[in-house]
Amino acid sequence: MKKVVKVIVMVLILMEGVFVHLTFKSFSMRNETIENVNYKPSEAEENKKLFAYLLDDGNGNYSEPEERESWPDPSNSVYIKSICYDGDGTELNATDVVTFNESTFQATVNTSTTLYCYMYFSPSETPLSIIVKNSGGSNGSFETPEAMKKRNDSITGAKDDLRRFVGDKNKVTDNFICFGATDQNTCKSSMDTYMYRIIGVDASDRLKIIKATKIVKDSQNTFQWHSTYSSDTKWNSSSLYNGLNNGYFMQNAKYNYMQDQKWTNLIDPSTYYIGDSTANTNPTLFQNERQESFSNAKIGLMYLSDYLYASNANTSNWLFIANGLNGNHNSLGNEASAPIAEYEWTMTRYGYYGFSNAWRVSSNGTVAASSLTNASAVRPVFYLKSNVKITGKGTITEPYMISNASMAS
């Protein structure tokens, strides 16, 4: 049964007073720690705190709450989130009323009022898309289905199937993932090599990720979109596309994991959209980008729409949002130990001036068209297969780590 149904079940429990199959304990003291003990409903005090935890089967399906002797085993479980209500059934901000210590696997109550909470856990190795969707992003940074629908309502034609992380880099703090390393310390000590950020999750449960920092090839850290200014060159015929899928990135010794089949097998060859656009407003830009595509490609760049949706998913005036903002105002701004100080290329070509320009983003958040022959920073983008499994929390200090089981499958 899906977690949405669990919320309905909980409402029924509150209305009918049926506390069957709930793990809970009553509280009379503020900030008391929940112990791993079951109590019968008759032992509940007036200001009771009910806690039920739900286990994920690894595919995003939560079973019925069951009476248990303790919290899940910390060695093979990941805490996802809590959903809490007061005695009247009004949903509360869970982070304000209960804190779960993931090291000790104990919860602390931060209120003296009646409290009902569902606490969600998943197996420690779970498809990454499920973890991302269930966690919801810290501070609401991951789009809800409702927000995604509202954004798509303004789009004529093919809709955007990507649920995205939206907001500034200080708000979006749990979309970090390591690729190319199975040891977290290795990833964190070499962020410029292994650290990526999640752009979003598509309808097939694939994750679209972008390298957190620019690529470096020997001493070169900026690259032309195309070597010739005057030619009408599409992305899949450009110097940059060829370079990313060869010596700049895929065959670059600095990123030797891209020459390791265990890792490259996790990348899902995908359709990329290469339509031109003179507009950088929503939804015209998105629609223009979707006018043309090519298939079965592994490595691309972010679209201009990727960057602008990450700035603000619901605005109709992207130019106003983007121009003049510091790069910190966008979760797709550069990150980690070597921030991008230059302009950065997007995949979206500018549909004017003989198609000799493409869109790029500056470190202060502005977007502008520039000659294809100008050299700019580059961050590769690719899709992970939907069955990739992970551990970790998605933060920069505890990024998602791809499990060995994923690479063996």
What would the pLDDT profile of 61-111 be if each residue is shown by its tens digit?
Answer: 555 555 455 667 777 777 777 777 777 778 888 778 877 777 777 777 777
pLDDT in tens, 168-209: 666 777 889 999 999 999 999 999 999 999 999 998 889 999
pLDDT in tens, 240-277: 999 999 999 999 999 999 999 999 999 999 999 999 99
Q: How far apart are CA 276 and CA 259, in angstroms?
A: 32
Q: Return the pLDDT at 20.
A: 22
Can you list the alpha helix ranges (DSSP code H) found in 74-197?
94-97, 128-135, 145-153, 184-189, 191-194
- Overall pTM > 0.75: no
Q: How far apart are CA 126 and CA 206, in angstroms?
A: 13
Residue type at 207 in one-letter notation: L
Q: What does pLDDT average to over the chain?
A: 74
Q: How far apart are CA 253 and CA 239, in angstroms?
A: 19
CB atoms within 10 A of CB 178: 24
Q: How far apart are CA 286 and CA 157, in angstroms?
A: 10
Q: Return the pLDDT at 131.
A: 67
pLDDT-derived band at 12, boundaries 50, 70, 90:
very low
What token pair was written down for 164? 């995205």
Q: Return the pLDDT at 152.
A: 86
Residue percentage of the chain with pLDDT more than 70: 67
Q: What 3-state class would DSSP assign to 111?
A: coil
Q: How far apart are CA 316 and CA 163, in angstroms?
A: 18
List b or e across 79-90, with b for residues whose CB sees 16 or more CB atoms inside 10 angstroms: bbbbbbbeeeee
Q: Are 311 and 151 in contact (CB under 8 A)?
A: no
